Structure 1
């Protein structure tokens, strides 16, 4: 499968997220502790917001631990909102267009998991994508197809409802093709101001997902930790697995949930697919 992180808050250097933590995303690319696979070396991607509304995206088929360009970029680029993803392919080709995060205008999307039986469902799913959006699909992954289904079902207006309709449509399509439990996912999407993260699987046993606790509380608990003092009070992280072992720093996102992060505010909602 894959591992990912979504950061929002005061601007930070990308290397502070990707390289410096004890269990950084680059470390996880070789030695994931909670993933379905230990190694996630089938490419990576980083999306970040700068001076423009449209986020920048850097993607590579190199393993994250072995890409010098990633090291150079991470040491110089900073951002207030960052999406980063390391990939372990579930069957689709290792190519740049299959690396996450995927972008549409100001929106980013990344996924850990898989759609079981995707080859059998692919044509039906593709035919449901809005025609005006279809020619923007560049790769061959189930993850990108999910993104464009969510866009079709109204992601730009109501992300939780759109993802619920997209997942419900995939599950209905899967059952039509004899796949009873097609969806395994943790998904994150953002418009540059708010992050929505989803944890769900048809079988009810989803991949791991965590979010950081309030930075001001941690700062009071660990006054001698310099890392915490460099972050703003509204800094938040959503991650496939914790970046460190600081006690009390991470909370698990419950099964079948949607986490909404806006500024320093978090909202946790139940997530239920909507059947077509």
Structure 2
């Protein structure tokens, strides 16, 4: 599977979250503690937003993140208020740049950990459900990118939770028509550059790990000596496949079958369930 993180808040250098933590995403690419695989070396990607520019920038490559000199170089220089980062362990599709997360269309970014079970059996039916106007923009061969384009087809730009629920419902319905007992495993992050949605769901109710950070003002009171907490706003949040450190009280597990919204003001946490296709 994969590991990912999503950051929203005070603009920071990429290196602050990619390299500096004791169990950073770069460390997880070699030494994952909670993933299906210990090593996630089948490519990586980083996406970020620059104030005043709608579309995010992307850097993706097929090699392992731990040895990529270009990633190390930009991490010291790029600063952003909203960052997606992903390290990949392929579930069967090719190791190629177009299969590396995050995926982008317009101002939207998407990344995923998990899989569509027996994707080779359902891929054709699912691909035919993508809006014909969107289909030419699919570049790779992963289930993750196809999930993104199904969500776009089902109204992601207008209603992200509803679109992801309809996507998940179609994947489950299609899988079960093909005799797949547990068709879907997913933790998903998606953003339009303003708000961030994160989903944790699996057909078997045994979803991959996902955590969100405690409110910064609470952590600041618990750990007044931590410099990073003094430098970021109260609204700063991280959502991660596995915690990048062991700071007491910093991490909370996203409940099974739920989604959260990170936004200006109060964040939200809601139950999540697929919507069966009509």
Shorter-chain TM-score: what band?
over 0.9
- Cα distance in 1 between the residues matched to 2:264 and 2:47: 18
**SS of alignment partner, residue 267 of structure 2:** strand
TM-score where L is the length of structure 1: 0.99
What is the CA-CA distance between 1:136 and the residue it aligns to? Answer: 0.2
Partner of 1:3: 3
Match in the other structure for 2:238: 237
SS in 1 for 2:168: helix
Q: TM-score of the superposition, structure 2-length normalised?
A: 0.98
Post-superposition CA distance 1:125-166 (Å, at most 9, x none): 000000000000000000000000000000000000000000
How much does 1:233 deviate? Answer: 1.2
Q: How does 1:215-254 map to 2 (within 5 A)?
A: 215-254=216-255
- Give 1:98's aligned residue: 99
Give ranges in structure 2 of 5+ residues lacking alignment. Answer: none
Task: State how far apart, in whole Å, the 1-side matches of 2:119 and 2:28 are.
Answer: 26
Q: Distance in 2 between matches of 1:236 and 1:265?
A: 12
CA RMSD of aligned residues (A): 0.6
How much has 1:180 moved relative to structure 2?
1.7
Contiguous gaps of at least 5 residues in structure 1: none
Alpha-carbon distance in structure 2 between the residues aligned to 1:264 and 1:237? 15
Equivalent residue for 2:83?
82
Distance in 1 (alpha carbons) for counterparts of 2:179 and 2:220: 51
Measured in 2, the distance between the counterparts of 1:13 and 1:100 equals 20
Please list the CA deviations of residues 157-212 of structure 1 after superposition, one character each: whole Å capped at 9, or x if unmatched.
00000000000000000011111211000000000000000000000100000000
**Structure 1 residue 263: Cα displacement:** 2.5
Check whether the contact 1:236–1:264 (CA below 8 A) recurs between aligned residues.
no
C-alpha separation between the residues in 2 aligned to 1:265 and 1:69? 37
The aligned counterpart of 2:134 is 133
Structure 1 stretches of 4+ moved >3 Å: none
Matched position secondary structure for 1:135: helix
Secondary structure of 1:131's partner? Answer: coil
* Aligned counterpart, 1:178: 179
Distance 1:30 1:156 in 2: 35
